[in-house]
Amino acid sequence: MSLLDITAQELNSLAAPVQAQVKALLNIRQGLFDILGAFPQDNVLPYFYSCQNTTADNTAITASGTVQNSIRISADSAFIAISVRGTSDGDFTAFMRQDASDRQLMNIAVNSNAIMGTAERPGFFHKPLLLAASTTVSFDFTDLSGSTNQLWWTLAGFKVYNRKLG
């Protein structure tokens, strides 16, 4: 039995503000069920992994240049990436691969307009990408704007911790 198991009678007996909060939690729970296929309990948390190439840290992409950057998934959990979000000063291409297996996640470098979304309109993957704990994902970013290009790149998804049994 979870904390959100509640009968209609119990729900109706709550004060209006508390009832609204419980209904909101139940809606979130149902939304997660719809997204993930099962309610994720306490071992799944929303999470963002990011990298950046900026003038502030002296890593901005030079005009028509290429830089490499990477994201290391923490050792405490796997990560399910569901979208790419970010912003940049201009267009660029991105090429993504997993380092340990040298598994290419794209067959060619992809234009930023085709893959990267914004916070308002994320660039969703057609199928969630499961990245094991301690995996490193590397990126080659190549400027197409013809001038110095700052880039902020984020993989949005869920950290998945091992369940503690017993």
Write the CATH number for 79. 2.60.120
Banded model confidence at residue 166, pLDDT cuts 50, 70, 90: very low
Q: Which residues of 60-95 are buried (b: 16+ CB within 10 A; e: fewer)?
A: bbeeeeebebebebeeebbbbbbbbbbebbbebbbb
Domain interval for residue 32: 1-39
In this structure, are 140 and 93 located in the same domain?
yes
pLDDT in tens, 49-101: 999 999 999 999 999 999 999 999 999 888 989 999 999 999 999 999 998 77
In this structure, are 23 and 50 located in the same domain?
no
The answer to the question of residue 165 being in a domain is no
Residue 1 has pLDDT above 60, yes or no: no
In this structure, are 90 and 134 located in the same domain?
yes
Residue 165 has pLDDT above 50, yes or no: no
In this structure, are 77 and 121 located in the same domain?
yes
Residue 6 has pLDDT above 70, yes or no: yes
What count of other Cβ atoms lies within 10 Å of the Cβ of residue 158?
20
**H or E, element range at 80:** strand 78-88
The answer to the question of residue 58 being in a domain is yes
SS3 100: coil
In this structure, are 63 and 8 located in the same domain?
no
The model carries a pTM of 0.72
The answer to the question of residue 166 being in a domain is no
The count of structural domains within the chain is 2
